[in-house]
Amino acid sequence: ILEKDPEIHLVGGTYIDVVGKRSRLGYIKYVSFKNPYSYALDLQIDSRNWLNMVYTEKEIGDYGKNCRRTNSTHNFFMARKETLLKVPWRSKLKMNEHEFFFLDLGMRHRYGIVECPQVTVLHNMFPRSLTYSSSSSRYTEFCRAFKMLCREYNSFRGFRTPWVQADCEEQTACVLLGASNRKEM
């Protein structure tokens, strides 16, 4: 795809979650695999001038035989080197860096993105320890990330992803609990 179409700058795939449980000593007790799932979000601007990143049903084959155009994929992909140099991953952000990257890629630079759902990787979904969760800046970065989002994309009054919404005027961010069930989004 990248070789054939100069309009496409990034091609990604889907995750298969690997879930399981560890013993008190840290040994793996069991492992199971979930069905592949997509992160092919589309951008929609609503009547309130909020930018919404939402799942939309798209037919496979929308782009090529097994792929489809979209506004984001999971954060494993192949991309043009010059694209990644021009639109780097924001490594300082520990949360929501994914959304920033794809907004920068698609909205700022108008680069084409394709998802090929049949290309998969295993994604570790083992529960994090309480020690990790309470000490990791990963879980405390929402405010900083969304303030930056509101500042940099200030033509929008707010943002909504399947997991978080940020109201730029109210300066609030809200985590949408239970939103990992993609059928309910």
Rounded Cα gap, residues 30 and 20, in angstroms: 5
pLDDT per position as a tens digit, 82-132: 999 999 988 777 667 788 899 999 989 999 999 998 888 888 766 666 665
- pLDDT for res 179: 46
DSSP 95: S
Split at pLDDT 50, 70, 90, the class of 142 is low
Q: Is the pLDDT of residue 29 over 80?
A: no
- pLDDT for res 66: 86
Q: Is the pLDDT of residue 30 over 70?
A: no
- pLDDT for res 129: 63
Q: Is the pLDDT of residue 19 over 70?
A: yes
- pLDDT for res 92: 75
- pLDDT for res 134: 60
- pLDDT for res 112: 95
According to DSSP, the residues that pair with 30 across neighbouring strands are 21
- pLDDT for res 36: 81
Residue whose tokens read 């994604």 = 123
| pTM for the structure as a whole | 0.78
List % helix, strand, coil for the chain (3-state, nearest 5). 20, 35, 45
Q: Which carries the bigger pLDDT value, residue 26 or residue 40?
A: 40
Split at pLDDT 50, 70, 90, the class of 139 is low
Residue whose tokens read 């698609």 = 106
Rounded Cα gap, residues 157 and 150, in angstroms: 8
Residue whose tokens read 């140099």 = 85
pLDDT averaged over the chain?
A: 80
pLDDT per position as a tens digit, 37-92: 788 888 999 999 999 888 777 777 777 788 999 999 888 899 999 999 999 988 77
Rounded Cα gap, residues 89 and 99, in angstroms: 10
